[in-house]
Amino acid sequence: MGMADLLTPLLFSLGLNLSLFLFAYWKRTDKLTDISYALTFASIAGFSFLISDKSAGKAIALFLVLLWAFRLGSFLLSRVVRVGKDARFDGMRENFFSFLRFWVLQAIVAWIVSFSVILLMSSPSASPSASPLGNFSIVSLIGAVLALLGLLVESIADNEKRAFSLNPKNKGKWIEEGLWKYSRHPNYLGEIAFWVGIYIFSFPNLSQKDALIALASPIVISLLLLFASGIPILEKRADEKWGKNKKYLEYKKRVPVLAPRIFPK
């Protein structure tokens, strides 16, 4: 692996996000901002595939990422269209440098989380006489299944929460049904499972060095969701709303924050 294998997608990601930033800042629109995260991943994967020596295995990896990006992007777009704006960007979208910082960080995060895909795409394909899937094995199959299961869990959880929030009877309540009976953040559990699956899928075709570098992909997304931009923010908001509610406190004790208990209480 040469440094260009990683640096070229980084420059691509930064260029894409800076272009999107200029348009979003000009229009003051959250619609583009909300779908840009998924769009960045899809673009990095597509760009990396186009400049690779293509194989069926690499095409499968591209398909998985595009499927994930389409699902997430369409979900976020439908939500912002329904609500009208994304409150996360209040006080940011009007400030050039604060808004710019968000887009630059997004470009870098998407690049790092895409390491598994980028390094897979840059790995040498098998010889013509070998399997068109390259070095893919039962390990890759396990990774693909895990990625699809993660995507399914994430999709179900998001749809359950959307249906719950759209029901006027649930106004001011927290969701405690469906997958949310077993995890307080099943959508994030699915997200982490997806990227762990992508890493496992890519692993058989990576050199030892690349496999270690690609570990940044599932590790970074897990750290972000567990300790930074994901769960801590939502848990804080929930505690502010229902922290004095006895039933909510019982719910927190009963339902784990991420991974379901093997033996529920």
Confidence (pLDDT) at 264? 62
Q: pTM of this prediction?
A: 0.92
Considering only CA atoms, which of 227, 214, 233, 7 is closest in space to residue 108?
A: 7
What is the pLDDT, as a whole number, of residue 129?
A: 41
d(CA 71, CA 2): 32
Token pair belonging to 156:
């179900």
pLDDT of residue 126: 57
Measure the CA–CA gap between 226 and 189, rounded to whole angstroms: 10
Residue 130: pLDDT band by 50, 70, 90 thresholds? Answer: very low
Between 193 and 82, the more confident residue is 193
Among 8-22, 49-63, 89-103, whose mean pLDDT is lowest?
Answer: 89-103
- 1 vs 43, 127, 178, CA distance in Å? 21, 18, 44
Residue 141 has pLDDT above 90, yes or no: yes
pLDDT of 109 strictly over 90? yes
Distances (CA, A) of 255 to 238, 258, 261: 14, 9, 8
**Whole-number percent of the chain with pLDDT over 70:** 93
Radius of gyration (C-alpha) of the chain in whole angstroms = 20
